[in-house]
Every structure is written in structure tokens, then in C-alpha cells.
């Protein structure tokens, strides 16, 4: 019996049918069903022409960055980004990413906003502020090996928009999405995961960084080949430098100066 198409095969070659608009997305995004034969899955489709211009990212590059983030996640073994491809869909070229979870259900988040005295056991405070009625609140995130792994991945891709709602559970894994504003050549890390700042990197994360460093050094590797089609030479060089910096100083980054360290809103 011939094996059925993989998820990537399905995303790359399946028929894409639009189901509806993703109402709260900052750029044009569709919920889509991708089908081939008897197999289908839900995906989020973001056409390039629907990308809102940004002052600090080149126009029309966000979809490619989504795909590049997937390749890095897969090659490094982080397994954070759901399967993602860059292809032509019903509304032109764009990114197509496997949808995680039930699109009509409230996701199980790993970042929350709670009263200061209600921080869950095992969670870390990040940011203190006020709620809509002026009451004190604190942004918190869980402390788990999976989320620590996400924080390393974000440092690698220079994620400038890691909001709490961009992370959801899928079984025992934590998946992340909305990586269009990442992989810039300038340092732009902006995240809600600062609870780990300054901590030593776990050994498994150092091993992942070492693997990615080797793959990036090999211009013939599948990772290097894929990134060369999605990013500029300067952006790939900056990526290599970030990985090297983390290997030389294996600790979670600290908030920097001259750039907002926390996205707004944080969730």
C-alpha cells in the first residue's frame, strides 16, 4: 500500500478552499481547508498582497519569514512552528500553515494576566500593570521545558512579536505561530517570555544550537538551501551570528535597550 501524503505534501500540493477570514489578524488571513484525495486539514493562509506595510520590515516579506521560521524550527528539533509552506493559493502567493487546535474553541494558553496574589504555582511573573478598571495585574507565563525551548527558538529567529496568544498547547507540545515579523538582521527581540532572562541554557538547547550552527555553515544543507530562497544574505548572516552568540554565551537573553522588549498588547 502506498503511503498517503505527509502534512507538508498536503500543504504544498493540496487544493486550498477558503473557509473564512481570521477576524482578529493584523494582516489579511484566511482559515482554509486543504484537501487531497480523502485527506484534508485546516490551515491559516496569509497572502502576500494582504500584508500591512511596516516601517522596519521590507514590504511583501512576511509570508517568507513564516516559512523560514518553520524550517528553522524543524531543522533544530524545536518543533514549535506547525508545518508551513510558501505557495500560490486562491488569493495569490502566501504562507500556508497547519492550523493548531479547534478554530472555534478557546485555546489553552501558556501566558496569562492575573491579580498579583493569584500567580499560579510554577509560573513566572514578567510584567506588572493595571487592568481595564485600574486594578493591579501581572503578566505571567508557565515555567516548563517546552516553554524554555520556545524562548530559545525566539532568540534564534529574533522574534519581534511573541505575544501570549501566539502560543497554544497541542498535546504535550507548545506550538507557536505568527512569525512574520522575525529574522530581521537588526536585533529586535520582543517577547513576553522574559521570566527566563539570564538563566543558563539547558543542555538540550545548546545541542540544538550546535546542530543549527553546523547546518547553517554547510551551504549545501537542506536548511541553508531553503533559507537562501526565503531570506536575504544579510539576514542569514545575522541568524548565524545570533546562534554563534548564544553558543558563546549560553544563557537566555536579557531585555535590550533602544527597542521595546515587550509586545503590546502582551496577549
- All residue ranges of the chain with pLDDT < 50 are 1-3
Residue 1 is predicted with a pLDDT of 37
Residue 129 is predicted with a pLDDT of 87
Three-class secondary structure of residue 175 per DSSP: strand
d(CA 201, CA 198): 9
Q: ∠ at Cα 256 (201, 254), nearest 5°?
A: 20
Q: Are 208 and 155 spatial neighbours (Cβ–Cβ below 8 Å)? A: no
d(CA 84, CA 34): 12
Q: Which three cell numbers stand for residue 84?
A: 508551513
Q: ∠ at Cα 205 (107, 120), nearest 5°?
A: 40
Residue 4 is predicted with a pLDDT of 58
DSSP 8-state symbol, 99: P
d(CA 65, CA 35): 24
Half-sphere exposure of residue 100: CA atoms within 13 angstroms, side-chain side: 23
d(CA 105, CA 108): 9
In angstroms, how far is the first alpha carbon of the chain from the final one?
Answer: 46
Q: Which three cell numbers stand for residue 109?
A: 494558553
For residue 31, list its beta bridge partners.
20, 44
Residue 2 is predicted with a pLDDT of 44
Q: Are 267 and 139 spatial neighbours (Cβ–Cβ below 8 Å)? A: yes
Residue 200 is predicted with a pLDDT of 98
CB count in 10 Å sphere of residue 100? 20
- Give residues with Cβ within 8 angstroms of 33, minimum separation 6: 16, 17, 19, 40, 41, 42, 43
Cis (ω within 30 of 0) for the bond into 135? no
Q: Where are the domains of the chain?
A: 7-107+142-248
Predicted TM-score of the model (pTM): 0.94
In what helix (H) or strand (E) does residue 167 lie, and over which residues does it extend?
strand 167-170
Nearest to 207 by CA among 91, 113, 76: 76
Residue 23 is predicted with a pLDDT of 82
- Give residues with Cβ within 8 angstroms of 225, minimum separation 6: none
Amino acid at each position: 500500500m502506498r503511503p498517503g501524503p505527509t502534512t507538508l505534501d498536503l500543504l504544498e500540493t493540496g487544493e486550498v478552499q477558503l473557509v473564512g477570514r481570521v477576524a482578529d489578524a493584523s494582516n489579511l488571513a484566511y482559515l482554509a481547508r486543504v484537501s487531497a484525495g480523502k485527506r484534508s486539514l485546516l490551515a491559516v493562509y496569509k497572502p502576500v498582497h494582504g500584508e500591512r506595510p511596516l516601517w522596519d520590515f521590507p514590504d511583501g516579506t512576511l509570508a517568507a519569514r513564516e516559512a523560514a521560521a518553520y524550517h528553522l524550527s524543524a531543522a533544530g528539533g524545536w518543533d514549535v512552528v506547525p508545518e508551513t509552506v510558501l505557495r500560490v493559493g486562491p488569493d495569490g502567493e502566501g504562507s500556508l500553515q497547519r492550523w493548531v487546535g479547534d478554530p472555534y474553541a478557546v485555546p489553552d494558553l501558556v501566558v496569562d494576566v492575573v491579580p498579583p496574589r493569584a500567580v499560579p504555582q510554577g509560573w513566572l511573573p514578567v510584567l506588572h500593570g493595571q487592568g481595564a478598571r485600574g486594578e493591579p495585574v501581572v503578566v505571567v507565563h508557565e515555567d516548563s521545558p517546552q516553554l524554555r525551548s520556545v524562548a530559545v527558538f525566539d532568540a534564534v529567529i529574533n522574534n519581534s512579536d511573541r505575544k501570549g496568544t501566539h502560543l497554544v498547547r497541542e498535546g504535550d507540545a507548545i506550538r507557536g505561530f505568527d512569525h512574520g515579523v522575525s529574522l530581521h538582521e537588526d536585533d529586535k527581540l520582543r517577547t513576553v517570555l522574559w521570566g527566563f532572562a539570564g538563566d543558563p541554557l539547558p543542555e538540550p538547547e545548546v545541542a540544538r544550537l550546535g546542530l543549527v550552527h553546523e547546518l547553517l555553515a554547510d551551504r549545501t544543507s537542506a536548511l541553508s538551501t531553503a533559507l537562501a530562497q526565503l531570506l536575504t544574505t544579510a539576514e542569514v548572516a545575522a541568524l548565524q551570528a545570533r546562534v554563534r552568540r548564544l553558543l558563546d554565551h549560553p544563557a537566555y537573553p536579557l531585555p535590550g535597550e533602544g527597542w521595546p522588549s515587550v509586545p503590546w498588547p502582551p496577549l
